[in-house]
Amino acid sequence: LKKLNQTVRFVSIVLAAGVFAMGAMPDARAQQLPAAASALMELPGVGITEVHEEHAHYGLMASSQDDPNVIVDPEFYSYLTWRSTNFGRGGRSTAVAGTPDDQFTFFAGYTGGGVWKTADAGLTWENISDGYFNVGSIGDIKVAPSDPNVIWVGTGSGCPRGNISTGDGIYRSTDGGRTWAHVWNPGFVQVPEMVVDPFDPDHLYAAVLGDIFGAGPVRGIYETKDGGQNWDQILYISEDTGFNDIEMDPSNPRILYASAWTVYRKPWTIHSGSEEGGIYRSKDGGETWEKLSGGLPTGMVGKIDLTVSPPNPDRVWALIEAPNDRGGVYRS
């Protein structure tokens, strides 16, 4: 992997209702792009690609997944502005998911407000988790690509701060969010990221950070092949280290990437990082794993966010927290 030192100056993002542009980003915010790209790539029709040579002066661009060679000149959309689709309840937005083949339906999760749904591209929202969920803290939302009626929700925010609300496992809906079942209840844990098999809505991988307040065995990568009836812990490091992210190769669902993170929320501070942190890869659907190196930081490593480019699955991005100027954006 290679650490990137260039500053991205412009991002053009394709959303359900059109293209929204955001330009002239400060250097500090530019480092957040891979994490933002990770969420954006899960929306229908969005793909972040490499910079085409003839468009290098634009920086990072958005392209159509149908034709990744088509580049949209951001000047064409310069008159558009961002609009807030928030509704003022629940704290920070921690998860968002779109629905395949429906450009108006989205789901949003919050640190304390549960899961909300819009069917009109954000003009109105309704809460769909009240009465079903035991907690309000949401870590991740995934809509099954092969069946939009199947929605998975991992509870427990994966971003510990001065205050953090705990989760209690994973919930699943098979009717588009009208009703929910608590399909995995291991106690108070954080589930910040999941990925669904694109061909099987019952097959899910979950990155489990674990108990944010102390050591415990419920950490690692978990898998269910039967809609949450049974679960297997397919990757485990220690009682101190859980997993913050898991991503799937868009061209091969058996290739998985996962990031390990040691993090505790103490009454007086937050501890982040250890020598157990790093990026793991599986080429056989999670049966075996290898810890990657090849240019990645060694020693103390903190939080890592990952994303895999849909137009070019060999391109993997990592946003890495590490001391002594070893942290930053890495690319393979």
d(CA 96, CA 16): 13
Taking a C-beta distance cutoff of 8 angstroms, is the pair 25, 115 a contact?
A: no
Strand 61-63 to strand 138-143: parallel, antiparallel, or no bridges (unpaired)?
A: unpaired
Of 226, 160, 221, 175, residue with least CA distance to 194:
221
Whether residue 47 has pLDDT greater than 50: no
CATH of 87-292, one of 1.10.1370.10, 2.30.40.10, 3.40.50.300, 2.130.10.10: 2.130.10.10
Q: What is the mean pLDDT of the chain?
A: 82
Instruction: Report, as an integer, the average pLDDT of 247-265.
Output: 97
Q: Which of 29-33, 200-204, 236-240 shows the lowest per-residue confidence on average (mean pLDDT)?
A: 29-33
The first and second tokens of residue 315, run together, are 């391109």
Question: Per-domain residue ranges for the chain?
Answer: 87-292
φ, ψ of residue 225 to 5 degrees: the values are -115, 0
The count of C-alpha atoms lying within 13 angstroms of the C-alpha of 146, restricted to the half-sphere facing its C-beta, is 10
The answer to whether the beta carbons of residues 142 and 132 sit under 8 Å apart is no
d(CA 23, CA 10): 5
Note the pLDDT of residue 113: 92
Alpha carbon of residue 50 to chain centroid: 20
Q: What is the mean pLDDT of residues 36-51?
A: 40
Taking only the tens place, the pLDDT of each residue in 136-168 is 999 999 999 999 999 999 999 988 887 788 999
d(CA 13, CA 300): 34
What pLDDT, in 10s, does the model give residues 214-236? Answer: 999 999 999 999 999 999 999 99
Q: How far is CA 288 from the centre of its chain?
A: 22
* H-run or E-run covering 29: helix 27-30
| Separation of CA 243 from chain center | 12
Other Cβ atoms closer than 10 A to 136? 21
pLDDT at 26 over 50: no
Q: Which pLDDT score, from 0 to 100, does residue 40 have?
A: 40
Using alpha carbons only, what angle is made at residue 20 by residues 19 and 26, rounded to the nearest 5 degrees?
140
Distance CA 319, CA 257 (A): 13
pLDDT above 80: residue 10 = no
Cα 216 to Cα 218: distance, rounded to the nearest angstrom: 6
Query: What is the rounded distance in angstroms from the CA atom of residue 330 to the CA atom of residue 88?
Result: 35
Most trustworthy range by pLDDT among 37-41, 78-82, 158-162, 214-218 = 214-218
